[in-house]
Amino acid sequence: MSANEIVLKEEIAPQTYRYVVRHPKIARKRRAGQFVILRVHEGGERVPLTIVDSDPEAGTVTLIFQAVGHSTRELAELEVGDQVLDLAGPLGQPTHIENFGTACVIGGGYGTAPVLPIAVALREAGNELLGIVGARTRELVILEEELQALCSRLEVATDDGSYGHHGFVTDVLQKLLDEGQKIDFVLAIGPAPMMRAVSDLTRQHGIKTMVSLNPLMVDGTGMCGGCRVEVGGETKFACVDGPEFDGHLVNFDLLMKRQATYKPQETEACQLESHCRLSEHLRH
Ligand code: FES
């Protein structure tokens, strides 16, 4: 097995893939909440992906991604035995883990992937775990079984009502709180509007809430400023200061505005099926 080699490829939901990639150093060093930046080929865009799991003995890391942009589609074209060009990491701050008491982990869509390693660490620290997984529709619900094994209670919500609760993860969280469920800590990862809605709800109940931000990243080392976010009125870089921040302090309006900035370029790159120039747009 050579470094950066894909040793397992699985489509776990439509256009959502689980890759197990050989990288002994990252497998040994990584902690919950950290991520890697990979490039599929020379000149390719840098793609940040959460490390979902690792096996230090086998020297492998597990990554989950959705093939939605030009670069992730290129990544999805690789097969077992192929190598990604490079894999940098582990990057970012590890999640602050402690025994909060009862922790509720909430994953929205593909955001459920980064939730999993943190759920494992929270459970290992002695927390009782509740889980809420949301998706647009049933076939996009991922990692339900894995989270089920960790949580004393796991609820699913789908936007179209095809599975579990018909509605949003915040409806389910509200229901738990209305039932008098004790919740001491919430971790929410998913689309920015979902993380904002969760944070607004938990703020009313005084529940400490962490969210994981996914602004565009270029170098992943705090040099380019591409991933800057505003937290508590201060500028932070998601790649080195995060990716997790206090959900009650994040300026979600600014985050969403910045996320939308490069949509036209990404769309153009995907339509042309040319090499994605997103990182170049970011630099100029
Ligand atoms: S990705 Fe460049 S500063 Fe964070």
Check whether 274 has a pLDDT greater than 50. Answer: no
Could you tell me the pLDDT band of residue 263, with boundaries at 50, 70 and 90? low
Check whether 277 has a pLDDT greater than 70. Answer: no
Mean pLDDT, residues 49-73? 92
Q: 6-91 in CATH: which number?
A: 2.40.30.10
Positive or negative, the Cα torsion across 212, 65, 43, 26? positive
Q: Is the Cβ atom of 226 under 6 angstroms away from ligand 1?
A: yes
pLDDT tens by residue, 253-262: 998 888 777 6
Could you tell me the pLDDT band of residue 221, with boundaries at 50, 70 and 90? confident
Residues of the chain with pLDDT > 70: what percent? 92
Q: Is the Cβ atom of 147 under 6 angstroms away from ligand 1?
A: no
Q: Is the Cβ atom of 219 under 6 angstroms away from ligand 1?
A: yes
How far does residue 170's CA lie from ligand 1's centre (Å)? 31
Question: In 169-179, which positions are buried (b, 16+ CB within 10 angstroms) versus exposed (e)?
Answer: bbbbbeebbee
pLDDT tens by residue, 104-125: 999 999 899 999 999 999 999 9
The domains spanning 6-91 and 102-260 adopt the same CATH topology: no
Arithmetic mean of pLDDT over the chain: 89
Check whether 235 has a pLDDT greater than 90. Answer: yes
How far does residue 260's CA lie from ligand 1's centre (Å)? 17
Residues of the chain with pLDDT > 90: what percent? 75
pLDDT tens by residue, 130-183: 999 999 999 999 999 999 999 999 999 999 999 999 999 999 999 999 999 999
**Model's pTM, two decimal places?**
0.87
Q: Which atom of ligand 1 is nearest to the CA of 238?
A: 4
Identify which has the larger pLDDT, 62 or 221.
62
SS3 string, 13-59, reads: ECCEEEEEEECHHHHHHCCCCCEEEEECCCCCCCEEEEEEEEECCCC
Mean pLDDT, residues 198-226? 90
Strand-pair category, 16-22 with 60-66? antiparallel
Q: Which atom of ligand 1 is nearest to the CA of 223?
A: 3
Domain boundaries, the chain: 6-91, 102-260
CATH of 102-260, one of 3.20.20.70, 3.40.50.80, 1.10.3720.10, 3.20.20.140: 3.40.50.80
Q: What are 8's strand-pairing partners?
A: 20
